[in-house]
Amino acid sequence: MADQKDQKETQQLTGEKANVGLVERAKETAAALKDRALEEAKDYKDPQQTQVWKSIFRVSHQRSDPRNRSLAILSNVFLHLHPAKINRDAVRYQYTWGMGGITFYLFIVLTFTGVLLMFYYHPTKIQAFADILYLEHDVPFGKLLRNMHRWAAHLMVITTWLHMFRVVLTGSYKKPREFNWCVGVVLLVLTLLLSFTGYLLPDDQLGFWAVTVGTNMARATPMFGNEGPFGPQLGLTPYNDVRFGLLGGSIVDANALLRAYIWHCIGIPLVASIFMAVHFWRIRKDGGISGPAPVMLESEMRPPKKK
Amino acid sequence: MESPKPNSRRNKLIGLIVAVVLVGLWVYSVQDWHQIWKIVSAPDNVPIVAMLFLVPFFTWLGVKQAKSNDNLIVELEGDAKLAKTHHRKVEPWRPGWAKELHVWPYLVRVEFLAAVIVTVILYVWSIALNAPLEEPANPNLTMNPSKAPWYFLGLQEMLVYFDPWIAGVVMPSIIMIGLMVFPYVDSNPLGNGYYTLRQRRFAVNMFSWGFLMWILLIVIGTFIRGPGWIWFWPGQTWDHNTVVFDRNRDLHEILGVTPENFANHLSLLPWVRGIFGFLVVSGFFILGGLFFHWLMRKGPFRFSYLISPKRFWAWAKLPDPFELKLLANTSILQYMTFQFFAVSVLLAMPVKLFLRLVFTIKYVWVTPWFNV
């Protein structure tokens, strides 16, 4: 019933204003819509008030009050490994030299460039070397990509060593951080192995002979190598010793290339990621970064506690 | 203060003059600049060339901070009242200042800046210098010299002094395990979280000894070892036809344990050799242990002791009371563990290097199963 009434009224209206026409009405509606749109657009001038923004960032960071600054760290998945606050002298470049953080950043750079390189590389004797030539000469920015992967890897070895050197100089491996130092030593070994397994992948003379020299040492492993002390006595030959296991054969060939590739791209990065997670987690659990701590005096030394 | 100012200035000047003279002599003796340029500019050698500058720079940066902390420590040790009131850091602090900062933004911005700088360095490096690529792998054509990547050149250089099972397997394992036990054998409670040399002289020196030895071996492997892994001084041409008439002898041969002297008891010779070598190595461990035992109780060494035998003797004879206190803090297990790693890596490496390069001695212990 109501609908019919409405219809009648509408018909009356249109009848009366027949001369006004559709155009006028459209204009009116458009003007009303425009006003509304302008009104709503005022709200979008502050993107931080939008639903999209609020759904991504769970808290407002716009003001610099202490609570917001803490939440900026605590509620962010990428930053949450940081504490909300740190020792005011620890942000000085001089104390940490930033080497640990730079090492991690280089790991990220290497993962990124490494994944891109994987798109162009086949770990087979027929294609590997040709793929490097292809990368260098045909792939857009391929040369830059390969160079950056190489130099970032070298830089990562350097920063790892300097990080370790700094930790020794500041005595940061001391109680309660002894275990984390050990995790760090494992990470150092993994960094070197990552770099070494990558060395073979271009399948050129440089990598081939470096890996030949390197794995020849494995032949001499005591008890596990066929030329090592007590190896022959335990029945080891070039076809069943530890070197055979590393290379997947008795010479550096197709299987060695494939094994190096898998260790380089999957095996070691996976293990290293786990150790890194423990390393970073332990930094927090062991009380954050070690200093600069107030100096202790010789006169305050206590004899070690007896259990 | 132990070292008066004018003296340290004079010492610096003497050091500078000695360094300039040495570099000058080296420059004068260089025969082949092109060879040097070829080694230094090889793309894969860039990292170790960089290390030649980075290691001294960061050592200086660490020592500088250690010295200022050490000065503060001396000051506070002498003034108990100040020790109670001072905030015990060299970094400035006023009562109104908070002891902690918000990570956002004060740390995050430092990290961001570091990431930007590293990225820029990587871009410049990658645009300016190409990663090396040799000819396709060819098992029939041996590269000469065929070198490991630079960070493993220390191990490859060790192959000159030890058999592969030691240089390639046992030594690296001992070094890694030794690094891991390092925090557990350093029983010194002082110097946790700040730079200091005064309170941790021995620990820092032992680590630096190992670290610098590692770098030195890499430098030898990179700059000095040429074709045939022959020793070429920097500036000498890497001549592929060079032949070195090297005497390779074992220690027991020099001391008369030879077939000629055992003509009537040849079957006994391997036993005598084995026992002789065992005694030599055991003796080395005992003497090495005594050496470290002596060294770890010593006070700071000054270069002036080198020109004054009287002062040197006084230093060598008298133990330092603080170091004795640290030693008393150390358990027997910690002490023995340290001694094992110190003698078998920190001492064995340079001693064998010396025996090999100066006396051309190959083995000190020969058995039917292994040689050392």
Pairwise CB contact (< 8 Å): A174 & B211 = no
Q: Which of A201-215, B64-78, B89-103, B203-217 has the weakest average pLDDT?
A: B89-103
Tell me how far apart the alpha carbons of residues A242 and A248 are, in angstroms, rounded to a whole number. Answer: 10
Percentage of chain A with pLDDT > 70? 91
Tell me how far apart the alpha carbons of residues B356 and B162 are, in angstroms, rounded to a whole number. Answer: 10
One domain for residues B265 and B324: yes
Strands (E) located in chain A: 85-87
One domain for residues B220 and B295: no
Q: Taking CB atoms and an 8 Å cut-off, how many pairs form between chains A and B?
A: 303
Burial of B54 (0-12, 13-18, 19+ CB in 10 A): middle
Residue bearing tokens 């071996």:
B217
Answer yes or no: is A303 within a domain: no
Residue B368 CA to its chain's centroid (Å): 33
One domain for residues B83 and B204: yes
Out of B83, B169, B322, name the one closest to residue A222 (CB): B169
Tell whether the model's pLDDT for residue B114 goes beyond 80: yes
Q: Which domain holds residue B190?
A: 38-98+150-235
Alpha carbon of B168: minimum distance to chain A alpha carbons (Å): 5
How does residue B99 score in pLDDT terms, banded at 50, 70 and 90?
confident
Confidence (pLDDT) at B2? 46
Tell whether the model's pLDDT for residue A77 goes beyond 50: yes
Out of B125, B186, B193, name the one closest to residue A151 (CB): B125
- Residue where one domain finishes, among candidates B205, B235, B265: B235
One domain for residues B257 and B333: yes
Q: Which of A136-150, A186-200, A253-267, B91-105 has the weakest average pLDDT?
A: B91-105
Number of structural domains chain B divides into = 4
- Average pLDDT for residues A33-51, to the nearest whole number? 87
Answer yes or no: is B142 within a domain: no
Confidence (pLDDT) at B185? 94
Confidence (pLDDT) at B1? 40
Out of A88, A207, A228, name the one closest to residue B98 (CB): A88
Residue of chain A nearest B75, judged by CA positions: A297
Answer yes or no: is A255 within a domain: yes
Answer yes or no: is A125 within a domain: yes
Confidence (pLDDT) at A19? 60
Q: Which domain holds residue A181?
A: 96-288
Nearest to B62 by CA among A291, A85, A191, A184: A291
Number of structural domains chain A divides into = 1
Which residues on chain A are in Cβ contact (under 8 Å) with B137?
129, 203-205, 207-208, 252
Which residues on chain B are in Cβ contact (under 8 Å) with A173?
182-183, 186
Question: Residues of A7-19 as b/e, b for ≥16 C-beta within 10 angstroms?
Answer: eeeeeeeeeeeee
One domain for residues B92 and B107: no
Tell whether the model's pLDDT for residue A59 goes beyond 80: no
Answer yes or no: is A17 within a domain: no
Pairwise CB contact (< 8 Å): A222 & B143 = no
Pairwise CB contact (< 8 Å): A101 & B111 = yes
Query: Average pLDDT over chain A, rounded to whole?
Result: 88
Q: What are phi and psi of A263, to 5 degrees?
A: -60, -40
Answer yes or no: is A153 within a domain: yes
Confidence (pLDDT) at B62? 94
Query: Average pLDDT over chain B, rounded to whole?
Result: 89
One domain for residues B313 and B230: no
Q: Which of B82-91, B103-112, B124-133, B204-213 has the weakest average pLDDT?
A: B82-91
One domain for residues B189 and B60: yes
B220 contacts B212 by C-beta, under 8 angstroms: no
Name which residue leads in pLDDT, A77 or B115. Answer: B115
Pairwise CB contact (< 8 Å): A301 & B114 = no
One domain for residues B91 and B118: no
Answer yes or no: is A264 within a domain: yes
Looking at the DSSP bridge assignments, the partners of residue B234 are: B236
Pairwise CB contact (< 8 Å): B184 & A178 = yes
Tens digit of each residue's pLDDT (9 = 90 or more) over B283-294: 999 999 999 999
Pairwise CB contact (< 8 Å): A147 & B134 = no
Answer yes or no: is A182 within a domain: yes
Residue of chain A nearest B76, judged by CA positions: A297
Tens digit of each residue's pLDDT (9 = 90 or more) over A108-145: 999 999 999 999 999 999 999 999 999 999 999 999 99
Which residues on chain A are in Cβ contact (under 8 Å) with B142?
209
One domain for residues B201 and B335: no
Pairwise CB contact (< 8 Å): A303 & B50 = no
Answer yes or no: is A306 within a domain: no
One domain for residues B344 and B266: yes
Confidence (pLDDT) at B180? 95
Burial of B143 (0-12, 13-18, 19+ CB in 10 A): middle
Pairwise CB contact (< 8 Å): A296 & B192 = yes
